[in-house]
Each structure stands twice: as structure tokens, then as C-alpha cells.
Amino acid sequence: MYKINDIINVTITSILSYGVFVKADNDYTGLIHISEINGKYIYNIKNYFKENKSIKAKIIGINEEKKQLNLTLKNIAKNTKKTNQNQLKENGLGFKELHDSLPKWIDETKKEIENSK
């Protein structure tokens, strides 16, 4: 049975603009709301996650009746032996992906600004 503050492995099942849906063991599902990913602004959540990837998440809420979990990714490295860098590698992410995506994001934002004038 799960408890608040447990850190568990989950598999990403879908990615929406407001959060990431995951599947855990024991027929539980969960949501990592976009505000629980990190303390920074996230322009496009799909740049941070990939479906079917396994990640670690911390339980912050449980609905036993519906078998649903509210999860966070914040401060997980403090509660595990992994460092932030290792957590990023495990998720299939890293600074290279962000570095490579930055010019595209800048161009998209410039176009959005010009189109809104």
C-alpha cells in the first residue's frame, strides 16, 4: 500500500499541457501536475517527458477509492541517493536537449509576438 511521501517508479502514459499522467503498480494511476515538475516556468511540457518512460515520483496525495495518486517531482533528489544530474539522465533528458531546443523556442516566441500585433 502506498503512503504520502513514498518515492515510487511510475511509467508515463500521456502528456497534456497541464500535466503528465502515469501508471504505477497495483492498478494505480497518477497525475504530475505541471506545477509539481519543478519551480520554473515550463513553456512546453512535452519537451521534458516522453511517453512510456519510467521515472521516479513522490506521492503527495492518495485517493484509495479511485486508486489515484497525486505526485511531484520536486525535491526527489534530496530524498534519494541519486543526484539531479542522474535523475535527468534517467528521464532521458539533459541539458543538450534543452540547448538544442532553445533556438526553436526563441523563434516560435518571436513569431507569436509578431502575430499578436
Q: Where are the domains positioned within the chain?
A: 7-115
For the stretch 37-90, pLDDT in tens is 887 888 889 888 999 999 999 999 999 999 999 999 998 865 554 434 444 444
Asked if the model's pLDDT at residue 26 lies above 90, the reply is no
pTM over 0.75: no
In this predicted structure, what is the pLDDT of residue 8? 95
CB contact at 8 A, 7 and 80: yes
The residue among 14, 29, 92 whose CA lies nearest residue 55 is 92
Note the CATH number of domain 7-115: 2.40.50.140
In this predicted structure, what is the pLDDT of residue 82? 43
N residues, the chain: 117
